[in-house]
Amino acid sequence: MAYDQRPLAAQGYGATGTLPAPAVRNRVLRNTYWLLALSMVPTVLGAWIGVRSGFGFFAGSPFVGLIVFLAVAFGFFFAIERYKNSAVGVALLLAFTFFMGLMLSRLVGAVLGLSNGASLVMTAFGGTAAIFAVMATVATVSKRDFSGMGKWLFIGFMVVFVAAIANIWLQMPALTLTISTLAVLIFSAFILYDLQRIVNGGETNYVTATLAVYLSVYNVFSNLLALLGILGGERD
Distance CA 105, CA 46 (A): 7
Per the CB < 8 A criterion, the answer to whether 57 and 177 are in contact is no
pLDDT confidence of residue 21? 67
pLDDT, position 176 = 95
CA distance 153 to 151: 6
Give pTM, 2 decimals.
0.89
**How far is Cα 120 from Cα 122, in angstroms, rounded to an integer?**
5
8 A C-beta contact, residue 194 and residue 63 = no
Give 8's pLDDT tier (boundaries 50, 70, 90): very low
Q: Could you tell me the CA-to-CA distances from 42 to 38, 96, 138 in Å, in that order? A: 8, 9, 28
What is the Cα 210 distance to its own chain's centre?
A: 10
- The domain limits of the chain are 20-232
Q: Which residues contact 20 (CB under 8 A, 6 or more apart)?
A: 28, 201, 204
**pLDDT at residue number 65:** 87
pLDDT of residue 159: 96
Pick from 149, 133, 158, 156: nearest CA to 193: 149
**In the predicted structure, residue 126 carries a pLDDT above the cut 50:** yes
Mean pLDDT for all residues in the chain? 89
DSSP states of 75-86: HHHHHHHHTTTS
Quick one: which of 204, 162, 169, 203 has its CA closest to 183? 162
